[in-house]
Amino acid sequence: LQWLRNPGPQHEKRTLFGDMVCFLFITPLATISGWLCLRGAVDHLHFSSRLEAVGLIALTVALFTIYLFWTLVSFRYHCRLYNEWRQTNQQVILLIPKSANVLSNQQSLLGLQPLKRNSKETIV
């Protein structure tokens, strides 16, 4: 969520916002246009020339190919920007436990207290 609030320079923010708006408008338009082209192709197959039907089918295929290409390129671009942002804007937060066992845990990690093992396992 932090990346969405502050993804970086203003250019990247405008690009992300513009692509989201375009995606929201182009998706229904491409769907309706494709449906109308296919509907017209079916009508032309039944009532008139097959050449016009083939042309409408080719138009539908071209429309959806361009739409899918734009969607994939845009998605890949924004994923690349996100990965670059994630590598350069790492935020590390040190959490310090407020337990009374902190001191004893630190001492045992440093080897100040001997560890007793009752099992016959050996540590490798």
Q: How many domains does the chain have?
A: 1
Range of the domain at 43: 11-90
Condensed to tens digits (0 to 9), the pLDDT of residues 58-110 reads 999 999 999 999 999 999 998 998 888 788 877 777 777 766 455 555 555 55
Residue-wise pLDDT for 107-118, tens only, equals 555 555 555 555
DSSP per position, 73-85: HHHHHHHHHHHHH
Q: Is the residue at 46 inside a domain?
A: yes
Residue 97 counted as domain residue: no
Please give the mean pLDDT across all residues of the chain.
79
In a domain, 57, yes or no: yes
Query: Is the residue at 118 inside a domain?
Result: no
Whole-structure pTM value: 0.62
